[in-house]
Structure 1
Amino acid sequence: MVLDLLVIGLIITLYPLPVMAFVLVVSAPRGLWKGLAFILAWFGCLVAVIAIVMFLTGGEPPPPRSPPATAGLVIRLALGIGLVAYAEYRRRRAPGTAAPSGDSHALTSRMDQASAWSAAGLAVLLQPWGMVGAAAATVVEADLSQSSTFLALFGFCLLASSTLLAMELYMVFAPERAALVLTGLRSWLSDHKDPAIVFACLTLGLWLVGRSLYDLTS
């Protein structure tokens, strides 16, 4: 479980779309507060998903080969296949053209006027729910009777939020330099987001498919 959560958390934190949106959030007026709201909503979603799974399982992993355990593996397999299919769809899709500067300015203007609540809602909207669902199916195996399980679950939430946390702290301690660096990062991601999405979805999808098939057949 720990290794699977590590891989999922790493892919989530590097997923480009939330990173691009977060740069807009922290670059807006009162960006630090909006960024904090974004992070709290993002982190809260992860915690809520894990809490729901723990409530449903009672904090005890289902016995091997039992229907709940098999169902969890089947869900992970289906999500993995879905991620691979989505990666192939993005790869085959004709390369998009860069967004017109007017659209970019309009998006920035809307973010300038957005509230912290809007930033929090954006975090919920941009959560990569397919990947979070894979984490939820993995957390079914968690055993809350072991203290190490709490560390693993908290570590997953922290890892999945680490890029956002790093950018927020960068803006706190070096706002001028951070603004330049993050603007450059967003520009780079705008030009490379499709290959990054394909790589992230394909990598995690193949990992989930391989691990699920192994567990189902071993």
Structure 2
Amino acid sequence: MVLDLVFIGLAIAVFPLSVTAFVLVLSARGGVRKGLVFILAWLACFVVVLTAVLLTTGGQPPAPQSSPSTAASAVKLAIGVGLVGYGWHRHRNRERTDRRHTASGGLMARLDRLSLWGAAGVAPLLQPWGLVAAGAATVVDADLSHASSYLALFGFCLLATSSLLAMEVYTTFAPDSAGVRLGKLRTWIGSHQEQALVAVALVAGLFLVSRSINQLTS
């Protein structure tokens, strides 16, 4: 479980759309406060999803090869296949997706004019929900009778939010330097967003497929 959560958490942390959106939020007037609200709403989604899973399982992992265990692995397999297909589709249709990205640039640019409530509302919309769902399917194996499971869940939430937290702290304590560096990051992601999306989707998808097949056949 821990390895899966670490990998999924890293994939969420570097998801290009979320990172770009958060840079835009931080660039707005009052960006530090809006960034904090964004992060709190982002974390609240994780808490709600993980709590729902743990309430369903009662904090006890299902027996190996049982129906719930098989269903969780099958969900991760389906998500992995979907991510691979998504990444391959974007790679094969790069010119078309580049045009869609250009057309959506105005919409993304509006993020720098969000209110505090807007920052809270947009955070859940920008989460990579496929990866979040894969994390939820993995948490089915959490055993809350052991402190290590609590640490793993806390670490997952922290890791998945680590890129946002790093940018928030940087902007809070070094706003001038952060503004320059985050501006360069925004420019770089804007130029390489398609490649980054394809890479994250394919790598995460292949990982989930291999792990779920191993769990289903072992």
Report how far residue 112 of structure 1 moved: 4.3
TM-score by length of 1: 0.94
Partner of residue 201, structure 2: 201
Q: Percent identity?
A: 53
| 1:54-87 superposed Cα distances (whole Å, 9 cap, x missing partner) | 0000000011111111100110100000000000
Uncovered stretches (5+) of structure 1, i.e. residues with no partner = none
For residues 133-161 of structure 1, give each alpha carbon's deviation from its aligned partner in whole angstroms, at most 9, with x where no partner exists.
Answer: 00000000000000010000000000000
1:48 is displaced (CA, Å) by 1.1
Aligned to 1:99: 102
Report how many residues are paired. Answer: 215
Give the CA RMSD over aligned residues. 1.5
Equivalent residue number for residue 76 of structure 1: 76
Q: Secondary structure at the match of 1:99?
A: helix
Q: Specify the code of the residue in structure 2 equivalent to 1:56.
A: T
Aligned-partner Cα distance in 1 for 2:107–2:141? 45
Is 2:154 the partner of 1:154? Answer: yes
Which residue is 1:48 aligned to?
A: 48
1:14-33 alignment, distance < 5 Å? 14-33=14-33
Q: What is the DSSP-based 3-state SS (H/G/I as helix, E as strand, rest coil) of the residue aligned with 2:29?
A: coil
**Residue in 2 that maps onto 1:58:** 58
Secondary structure of the 2:50 match is helix
1:46 shift after superposition: 1.0
Unaligned runs of 5+ in 2: none
Cα distance, 1:111 vs. partner?
Answer: 3.3
Q: 3-state SS of the aligned residue for 1:144?
A: coil
Instruction: Give the whole-Å Cα distance in 2 for the aligned partners of 1:193 and 1:84.
Output: 17
Q: Contact 2:10–2:160 at 8 Å: present in 1 too?
A: yes
Normalised by the length of structure 2, the TM-score is 0.94
